[in-house]
Structures are given as C-alpha cells and as structure tokens.
Structure 1
Amino acid sequence: MKRSQQATNLLRILLTVVPLALIILIILLILQKVLPGFIDILEHGDRLEIIEYLRSLGSVRGVVLGFLLQFIQILSIIFPGAPIQIAMGVVFGTWLGLTICISGYVAANVLVFWLSRKLGNRMDKILPVNQHKVETIVTKSEYPEFMVFLACLVPLLPNGIVPYIAARTKLDLKHYFISVFFGSIPFMLLLCAVGNNILEGDYLWAVILGSIIILSIILLYVFRAKVVSLALGIRSRLFGIKNNDK
C-alpha cells in the first residue's frame, strides 16, 4: 500500500514537472530566438551587461525583457535580483524601473504561491525549501501577512523562498498579494533610485536615500510588535474589525 502511494505521488510529480519543464524550455527557446543573448545575460547576472543589453533592445522590448528578468529571478530562487533592479533604474529611471520590477516580482510571487497551494507537499519535493528557522517564524506567526511583508521588505532571504513558505500559512491569495506588493516597494525603490542616481552622477543622494531605507527597515524589525499592534488598531477603527476576528 505504501509503495502504491509512493508510485502515485511520483507519477503526480512527473505529470506536473514534465509539462512545466517543457513549457519553460519552449519559452527559453523562443526568447533566445527573439532576444539573442538573453540566456547568457541571465546566467551571468552582471549589472553592466544587463544595462547594455536592455539599451540595445529599444524601449518596448527592453520593458518586456526587464519584466521577464525580474519574473524569472523569483522562479530561479538563487538568481540575484539587485543587478536587475539597479539596471532598471539606470535604463528606465526610478519610477518606470520600479514599476517594471514590482510587476515581475509580484506576478512571479503570486504564481508560485498559487502553485504551492495547489500542489501542496508535492511542491516541496520538486523544489524543497530548507529555511526551517525562517519557515517556523512565518508559519507559526499570529500575523503571517505582516511576516510576509517583513520578509519582502528585509532582503535577507534567498530569492523566491517567500512564496513557498507563505503557502503553508493561513494567508489567502489576496492578502499575500497585498503583503508582497507593499513589502517589495522600499528596497526595490532604493535599488532603482541608486541606478538612476548612478546614471546622473548623484552619489550623495543615493547614499542618503539608502541610509534612510536601511534605518527604516531596522526600526521596523526592532519595533515589529508595536507596528503590528498599531496596524490592528487602525484596521479596527477603519473597518470595525476586532483584533481577534479573522
């Protein structure tokens, strides 16, 4: 009986992984045909190479590629996101670069979260998450939406880990989307602004902005309990929801 269950689970995993792998392969082949050199840029992850390549594509294709780079960065789990976000700031400016980055980041996070919920433990077997300490903090928290927000806000976790962990909490898709969206803004804004200021040669403003964001993140983490309490109080006043209501 146990072997039969294992065989069934293996078959389900194969039926999930094989089509997904084929889809990814087809997408990569198309991208390599339409955007020559895209795969090499993705593998290297060099900021200057990304900037040069994006500029060579023109505005529309550059925006599409920027979105894809940020999207794939989350799916890859280990591919660094900072070079992409700095490059977006250099090529497109702070605000358009931020919009592109957040769009790709949130879209990929929501997709992975949804797939993890649908596949359950099978997703762990496909892409195991070995962040046990962080996972415990998030999944055991009384307010997982805030912990997801904090995990996105403080860029200390490997890329792409957050949606796998969040899928094991009581969070629904809407609240996960909200947490990821607002949590991703500060650090991405910093990196896009740094890229834009590097282009303009305004290094002092980049340092000042970076210091403000870093200080805010530290204070938010240190006083997270008070922040949660304040947020619940505001929610109660605005919507008439009690703190113990779900």
Structure 2
Amino acid sequence: MHSDRTPEQEERSYRRRRKAVSLCSLLGLIGVFLFITFTFGSRILTFASDPEGFRAWAQGQGILGRLALIGIQVLQVVVAIMPGEVVEIAAGFTFGAWEGLLLCLTGSVLGSIIIYGFTRRFGVKMVEAFISREKMDSLKFIHNSRKLELLIFFLFLIPGTPKDVITYFIGLTPMKLKTFLVLSTIARIPSVISSTMGGNAMGLQDYRLAIIVFAITVLVSSIGLLIYTCIVKKHNGKH
C-alpha cells in the first residue's frame, strides 16, 4: 500500500505524530508523579529528615512497591526522555543494590518487548513518532551492520549510550526479540548495578561511598558517550 501524499503532507503528518506522542508522554509522566505524590507523598517528605526510616517503610510495602518501581522503569524505557539513572538510583536506594538491579532489568525487558512489538507492527512511522528523524538517520549504520549482535551488545555495554533510543531502532532490524533481550539485558548489568550501588549507599547513609560510585559512573559514562559519538561519526562517514 503506497501513499499518494506529497512530501509537505508527509512532513505535516510526521510533525503531528511527534506532537501527539510528546503530549501523551508528558501526560503519562504527570500522571505517574501525581499518583506517587498522592499515594506516598507524606512518606516522601520524610526522606530528607529520615532516609533510613523511609527506606525501611518502602521496603515494607511488599509487592506493591516492587510493581510500582517496575512500572516506572517500563515507562522510562518506552517514553525514552526520562533519565534511566534516576530510576536506577531510586531502586538501589529503596530496595538495595541487587534487588534494585533485578527490578530495573525486569522493567527494561518489559519496556523493550513493548517497543519491539509496536515497531514490528507499525514500522518506521511509529518509531519516528518517538525518535526524531535526525537520530534515526544517525542510527542507520546499525541496520547495515554485518555483525549486528556484537554491535548491539557493545552499544548496550558502553555506559552513556542512548540505549532506549537504540531499542526503538531494533524492531526495524532483522534481529529476533529473544536475541535482543538476552544481549541487551546482560550488557545493561554493569551500568545499572553502578547506579543501584550508589543508591544503596545513599540509603545506608554511606555518602562517601555514594560520591565515589557516582563520580566513577559519571567519568565512565562520559568516556562511553565519547566512544559512541566516534562510532556514529565513523559509520556515517563524518570524520
């Protein structure tokens, strides 16, 4: 089925999709924050004065607290505008480094499945609604890579790369969902555990360790982002 629309009409349609998704994403974020505020607001206010007490209370919420964290992580992956590190630090602070890691990875897997399913079903137009054409163009080298699995593992292993943006592109490649989930989940572990460890240190009020972990994470992420930028420029012929 081909389209008889002119380039100008296609551009206007693209802009409308972008605006609609941006509005829905914003409303979704507002909805989540309002829910958290009205449900846990009074307890969150105790964080500054009694972080240890808040941590104990949050851990005592049982499955509800875990599901809420997973839901926020899914939203973070799908919306792709929220910084993942914030959610990961909160997970580490609330549930500890290792449980926080497990919850974040679970949310990432669920979010990736959602994105993969939608991109397979609706194709590039769906992706363009979430990711700008400029970013899409910069990632075209992924689709043309002869060593796709190795490249994806490497990109998800490097701290600082736009993993959620790359996730949107995966559904446009020949890679199978199972393969992508295994590679990306394993590769995410070092980056996520560093954030949950820092959050856990904050929960234990070991601020010296937290500062050290976050400083190392920022340094490594900056190096990773530089490496990613060089990879993109190299594959797109921009020297």
Question: Is the pair's TM-score, using the shorter chain for normalization, greater than 0.5?
Answer: yes
Question: How far is 1:156 from its partner?
Answer: 2.9
Q: Deviations over 1:127-176 (max 9, x none)?
A: 23432464133222112222222222224344621122122222111111
Does the Cα contact within 8 Å between 1:110 and 1:163 map onto a contact in 2? no
Q: How does 1:209-228 map to 2 (within 5 A)?
A: 211=216, 214=220
CA distance in 1, matches of 2:63, 2:220: 33
Structure 1 residue ranges without an equivalent (≥5): 42-46, 223-246
Question: How far is 1:210 from its partner?
Answer: 7.3
Q: Which runs of 4+ in 1 moved over 4 A?
A: 24-29, 38-41, 51-54, 208-213
Does the Cα contact within 8 Å between 1:81 and 1:159 map onto a contact in 2? no
Matched position secondary structure for 2:120: helix
Q: How does 1:1-246 map to 2 (within 5 A)?
A: 2-3=4-5, 35-37=35-37, 55=58, 58-129=61-132, 130-132=134-136, 134-158=138-162, 160-200=164-204, 201=206, 203-204=208-209, 207=212, 211=216, 214=220
Question: How far is 1:40 from its partner?
Answer: 11
Whose relative contact order is higher, 1 or 2, with alpha carbons under 8 Å and at least 6 apart?
Answer: 2
Q: Deviations over 1:181-207 (max 9, x none)?
A: 111111001111111123331734873
CA distance in 1, matches of 2:27, 2:209: 44
Q: Deviations over 1:183-239 (max 9, x none)?
A: 111100111111112333173487379759949x86xx79xxxxxxxxxxxxxxxxx
Q: Give the root-mean-square deviation of aligned CA atoms.
A: 4.4
What percent identity do the matched residue pairs reach? 21
AA aligned opposite 1:37: T
CA distance in 2, matches of 1:39, 1:55: 12
Q: Deviations over 1:65-115 (max 9, x none)?
A: 110111100111111111111111111011110010000011101210121
Does the Cα contact within 8 Å between 1:190 and 1:210 map onto a contact in 2? no
AA aligned opposite 1:114: G
Q: Structure 1's 125 and 206: CA in aligned 2 closer, same or farther, altered over 3 A?
A: closer
CA distance in 2, matches of 1:189, 1:80: 15
Matched position secondary structure for 1:2: coil
Q: State the aligned residue count.
A: 200
Structure 2 residue ranges without an equivalent (≥5): 42-46, 229-239
